[in-house]
């Protein structure tokens, strides 16, 4: 039986074209579990894979979609039965492997996580890689001692996907969140997510002049990297940690080691793509519990498969706000 999918083809002139096509099940890649996809979403990487490929896609025709959630249709792995609700993020699915912009996906059982009770497939995709990564960052901070009452927690790139979910969860947990944004018009949105303070991007844009500034932040989820991360390190309280998640502001780190040596500051690396299964289960359980549903709903921008080629180009231009949730059914 055929299924609908967004397929990216490479054309003779070397350019690519994305459009919705009907594929035969025989064309699906090998895998242990076949999933009836219900929802997917849109990330920056999806924008690349829907357009030029950005060096991520190796073979065409390609089905993008780095995240999906749905119901198991068939499984040759004893851990999954037809009817199980599952979520997939990472493992380079949607990049080097066919992904979630399709009514049917076939993947390895090891890559899937069973959805916790109380989380719908739509909510899981509003969270997606961005929200999952935000949760991993918060758990890393907690594992290194962060607790409510320790002081303000900084979130950089706050109006983006990772930043929005990090802000909402931290606020819900009782932290005083300071949200860094370069878009002043997102202030109401960020306060709605629970941010108590808005910090203008320019305040942290200047490169490090003094390795230590006053001790301000009890923790930080950093989606920006670059000069901003370097500045933040010098503003952390004694023994506090920064979870380094992203590089929206640059991959370099023009920093001083002094905050590590004199204040015992920790820089924690966060990877969501190859995260082991047990850690994934732990993070999804926390997401089901600690992310208020109404706040998540406020981030959702609904979309369909046929809108994805256009949305893919838009996210690369920074024109997408909140979480695009794609109804694949
Ligand atoms: P978004 O594009 O949704 O958000 C990034 C945000 O960063 C923007 O909304 C903006 O926030 C801010 N920003 C953008 N450009 C700059 C700049 N030049 N200087 C300072 N701030 C800037 O991306 P995501 O939230 O989905 O991802 C954030 C980062 O995390 C990306 O670099 C992504 O690649 C990475 N990532 C890493 C993962 C991992 O496993 N480690 C997983 C997922 C994402 P505002 O408008 O509020 O200023």
What CATH number is given to the structural domain containing 178?
A: 3.40.50.720
Structurally, how many domains does the chain consist of?
A: 2
Q: Tell me whether residue 314 is in a domain.
A: yes
If you measure from the C-alpha of residue 308 to the centroid of ligand 1, how many angstroms do you get, rounded to a whole number? 20
pLDDT tens string, the chain, 329 residues long: the values are 799 999 999 999 999 999 999 999 999 999 999 999 999 999 989 999 999 878 899 999 999 999 999 999 999 999 999 999 999 999 999 999 999 999 999 999 999 999 999 999 999 999 999 999 999 999 999 999 999 999 999 999 999 889 999 999 999 999 999 999 999 999 999 999 999 999 999 999 988 889 999 999 999 999 999 999 999 999 999 999 999 999 999 999 999 999 999 999 999 999 999 999 999 999 999 999 999 999 999 889 999 999 999 999 999 887 787 799 999 99
Whether residues 148 and 222 fall in one domain? yes
DSSP string, 163-186: HHHHHHHHHHTT--EEEEES-GGG
Strand partners, 178: 154, 197
Quick one: which of 98, 96, 154, 157 has its CA closest to 130?
A: 157
Residue 241's domain comprises 129-269
Asked if 212 and 247 sit in the same domain, the reply is yes
Quote the ligand 1 centre to 157 CA distance (angstroms): 5
Give the residue, by CA position, lying nearest to ligand 1 atom 34: 246
Give the helix/strand (H/E) hosting 89: strand 85-89
Same domain, 175 and 215: yes
- Domain assignment present for residue 283? The answer is no
Q: Would you say 18 and 51 are in contact if contact means Cβ atoms under 8 Å apart?
A: yes
Could you tell me if 261 and 316 lie in one domain?
Answer: no
Q: What pLDDT score was predicted for residue 319?
A: 79
Which residues are bridge partners to 153 per DSSP?
177, 219
Is there a single domain that holds both residue 151 and residue 227?
yes
Minimum CA distance residue for ligand 1 atom 19: 249
The answer on 155 and 25 residing in a single domain is no
Which residue in this structure is represented by tokens 């549903």? Answer: 293
Residue found under tokens 């967004």:
6
- pLDDT of 112: 98
For the chain, the residue count is 329
Overall pTM > 0.90: yes
Q: What separation in Å is there between the alpha carbon of 203 and the centre of ligand 1?
A: 17
pLDDT the model gives residue 274: 97
**Contact predicate 316/47, CB 8 Å:** yes
Q: How confident is the model at residue 324, as a pLDDT?
A: 95
- The CA 273 to ligand 1 mean position distance, Å, reads 16
**Residue 275: inside a domain, yes or no?**
no
ipTM > 0.95 (yes/no): yes
Structure-block tokens of residue 152: 């303000």
Task: Establish whether residue 162 lines the binding site of ligand 1, counting it when its CB lies within 6 angstroms of any ligand atom.
Answer: yes
Find out whether the beta carbon of 199 lies less than 6 Å from any atom of ligand 1: no
Which CATH number goes with the domain that contains 301? 3.90.180.10
**Closest-lying ligand 1 atom to the alpha carbon of residue 250:** 18
Residues 141 and 260 in one domain: yes
Domain boundary among 269, 286, 314: 269
- What CA–CA distance (Å, rounded) separates 268 from 266? 6
Assess contact for 139 and 286: CB atoms under 8 A: yes
Is the CB–ligand 1 distance for residue 161 below 6 Å? yes
Pair 104, 147 in one domain: no
The residue with tokens 């003779």 is 12
Task: Tell whether ligand 1 has an atom less than 6 A from the beta carbon of residue 133.
Answer: yes
Same domain, 259 and 159: yes
78 and 12 belong to one structural domain: yes
Query: Of the candidates 219, 254, 269, which is a domain's last residue?
Result: 269
Q: What pLDDT score does 3 carry? A: 97
């Amino acid at each position: 039986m055929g299924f609908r999918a967004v397929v990216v083809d490479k054309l003779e002139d070397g350019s690519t074209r994305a459009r919705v096509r009907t594929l035969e099940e025989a064309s699906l890649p090998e895998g242990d579990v076949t999933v009836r996809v219900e929802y997917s979403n849109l990330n920056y990487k999806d924008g690349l894979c829907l357009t030029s490929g950005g060096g991520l896609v190796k073979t065409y025709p390609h089905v993008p979609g780095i995240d999906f959630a749905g119901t198991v249709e068939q499984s040759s792995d004893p851990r999954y039965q037809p009817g199980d609700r599952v979520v997939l993020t990472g493992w380079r699915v949607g990049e080097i492997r066919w992904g979630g912009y399709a009514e049917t996906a076939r993947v390895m059982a090891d890559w899937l996580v069973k959805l916790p009770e109380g989380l719908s497939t739509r909510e899981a995709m509003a969270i997606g890689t961005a929200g999952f990564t935000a949760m991993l960052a918060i758990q890393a901070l907690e594992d290194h001692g962060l607790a409510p009452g320790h002081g303000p927690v900084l979130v950089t790139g706050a109006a983006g996907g990772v930043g929005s979910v990090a802000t909402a969860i931290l606020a819900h947990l009782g932290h005083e969140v300071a949200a860094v944004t370069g878009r002043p018009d997102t202030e109401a949105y960020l306060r709605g997510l629970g941010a108590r303070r808005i910090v203008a991007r320019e305040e942290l844009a200047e490169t490090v002049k003094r390795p230590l500034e006053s001790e301000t932040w009890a923790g930080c989820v950093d989606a920006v990297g670059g000069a901003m991360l370097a500045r933040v390190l010098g503003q952390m309280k004694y023994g506090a940690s920064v979870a380094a998640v992203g590089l929206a502001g640059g991959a370099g780190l023009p920093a001083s080691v002094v905050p590590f040596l004199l204040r015992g500051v920790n820089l924690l690396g966060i990877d969501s793509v190859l995260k082991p299964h047990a850690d994934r289960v732990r993070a999804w359980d926390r997401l089901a519990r600690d992310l208020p549903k109404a706040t998540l709903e406020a981030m959702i921008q609904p979309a369909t498969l046929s809108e994805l080629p256009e949305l893919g180009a838009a996210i690369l231009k920074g024109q997408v706000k909140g979480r695009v949730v794609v109804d694949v059914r």
